[in-house]
Amino acid sequence: MKLFKSIMLGAAAAATATAAQAADLPVAPEPVDYVRVCDAYGARFYYIPGTETCLRVGGRVRTQFVVNNVLDDGNWGTRDSDGYSWLARGYLYLDARTATEFGTLRAYASMYWSDTNGSTSATMDNAYIQWGGLTAGRLGSNFDIYTGQVFVGVVGRDWSDKTLNQLAYTAAFGNGFSATIAIEDRSPRESGNYGGTRMPDIVAALGVSQGWGSAQLSGALHQVYPNTAFNQTNTTGTEDSMGWAIGAGVKFNLPMANSGSNIYFQGFYADGALSYMGNQAGVSDYATNGDTNTGWSLSGGAYIQATSTIGLALDGSYSDIDVKNNGNDVTRWAIDGSVQWEPVSGFVMGADVGYANTDTSNVGDVDELLFGVRLQRTF
């Protein structure tokens, strides 16, 4: 009996010692999937943990104060119009890219939230997918060439500048040459009372970008489709027609100035597709008998990086629209200039002033004079 007890006590002691030694052994930690830097697409990209997709997250905060048209026939001339517009806006940017055997697969989204004079809104700015030469989603029109140099742009200038839904294919030929064909949503290009959507716009562009600068030639087809109410009263003209537009622009870098300095020129002609030449006056694409209205615009601008922190910019445009049947042709010219200061990388402060004159035959002209200041931090 004593022998049995001794054996049992020895076994228990051995088990206890073994367990203690096992508890003292180091345990391998669970693997941690740390965020890794992705340098394939430039700075500030990181791999999404557990994937081979690189993500860049960014944002922007902007606030600006604009003194609206101060002339006698402007905002300050009537009690019920806002004399100033005070904006605060926050942006979010998301850029995800993955390498595939057919090229980079990219998804990009940007959105912003605004408060202007106490009125808030949320806006989807861009949302598109790119794969090889294919682009699908919402971004700037392929017809657009140069959309301004100034920091704020308190007055509108007459050129094509639209963000819209599209499906496009771009072929790169090397040495900076490329060609694009696209179908784009007609809705943002409608000027006048249109019926429902039927045919998207067709856009094509040829471009080149090299060390000296860049150039582009653009063309578009646009269905002019007045609504039912117009067609019921229009007994002499056509119900709908095909509008079109062409544009060309060139930008020259200015190596004799600081890096980033350039000058550009562009021109547009439109028949029944006035959005493509700017149409800041808001003239309808069609006249009272259904004929298409025509117009053209010329514009140009310059940006000079005066010092490493100070930039100077100037934009100007002139447009002429021929309105059929009623003789109310419209001419408009506008000029806008700004100075901006970037004391810290990503933080810019600037001031802007703009003037425009719109002259309508048989009606008279309207002048605009506006001032603005902006603070902006991009990260």
The domains of the chain, with CATH numbers, are: 52-378 (2.40.160.10)
> Could you give the CA distance from residue 70 to residue 368 in angstroms, rounded to a whole number?
7
Q: Are 184 and 141 in contact (CB under 8 A)?
A: yes
> Could you give the CA distance from residue 254 to residue 258 in angstroms, rounded to a whole number?
8
Q: Are 288 and 325 in contact (CB under 8 A)?
A: yes
Spans in the chain with pLDDT lower than 70: 1-33, 235-238
Helix or strand holding residue 114 (H, E)? strand 103-116
Which tokens is 21 given? 């030694």
> 93-127: per-residue pLDDT in tens?
999 999 999 899 999 999 999 999 999 999 999 99
Within 8 A by CB and 6+ apart from 46, the residues are 35, 36, 37, 38, 54, 55, 56
- Phi–psi pair at 330, nearest 5 degrees: -125, 130
Q: What is the per-residue pLDDT for 182?
A: 98
Please report the sign of the dihedral spanned by the C-alpha atoms of residue 133, residue 137, residue 139, residue 142.
Answer: positive
> 205-247: per-residue pLDDT in tens?
999 999 999 999 999 999 999 999 988 887 666 678 999 999 9
Q: What is the per-residue pLDDT for 1?
A: 47
Q: What is the per-residue pLDDT for 31?
A: 57
Q: What angle do CA 187, 107, 344 make, to 5 degrees?
A: 95
Q: What is the per-residue pLDDT for 236?
A: 62
- Phi–psi pair at 16, nearest 5 degrees: -65, -45
> Could you give the CA distance from residue 224 to residue 229 in angstroms, rounded to a whole number?
15
Contacts 24+ apart (CB under 8 A), 319-323: 319/158, 319/277, 319/278, 319/279, 319/280, 319/281, 319/295, 320/295, 320/296, 321/274, 321/279, 321/281, 321/283, 321/293, 321/294, 321/295, 322/293, 322/294, 322/295, 323/283, 323/287, 323/293
